[in-house]
């Protein structure tokens, strides 16, 4: 896990607001199911975890079930369809 310090340097976690930290970690997901305005995503490195329900407005328009996404710096990027 990677934390960003208050000065943008690796090190101690940076507080965004009282009691909240911004964690910068790259994660990969597979789109398991598209359900209307939401998509069910499963982490590829931890398939035993529950799916993550994400609003489609936050995801690339081109996704289909089975797509692979990269989540980094609070953004999702389509890796493969």
Tens of pLDDT, residue by residue over 48-75, are 989 999 999 999 999 999 999 999 999 9
Q: Which residue has the higher pLDDT, 71 or 2?
A: 71
Q: Is 73 left (phi over 0), alpha (psi -120 to 50) or beta?
A: left
Residue 20 lies inside a defined structural domain of this protein: no
pLDDT of residue 68: 98
pLDDT of residue 20: 61
Residue 9 lies inside a defined structural domain of this protein: no
Owning domain of residue 73: 25-80
CB 34 within 8 A of CB 64: yes
Per-residue pLDDT tens for 8-34? 444 444 444 555 666 678 999 999 999
CATH number of the domain that residue 54 is part of: 2.40.50.140
Domain count, the chain: 1
Whole-model pTM: value is 0.70
pLDDT of residue 15: 43
Residue 1 lies inside a defined structural domain of this protein: no
Residue 49 lies inside a defined structural domain of this protein: yes
């Amino acid at each position: 896990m990677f934390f960003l310090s208050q000065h943008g340097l690796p090190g101690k976690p940076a507080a965004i607001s009282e009691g909240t930290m911004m964690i910068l970690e790259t994660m990969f997901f597979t789109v398991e199911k598209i359900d209307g305005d939401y998509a069910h995503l499963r982490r590829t490195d931890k398939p035993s975890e529950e799916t993550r329900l994400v609003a489609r407005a936050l995801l690339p328009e081109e996704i289909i079930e089975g797509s692979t996404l990269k989540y980094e710096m609070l953004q999702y990027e389509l890796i493969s369809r």
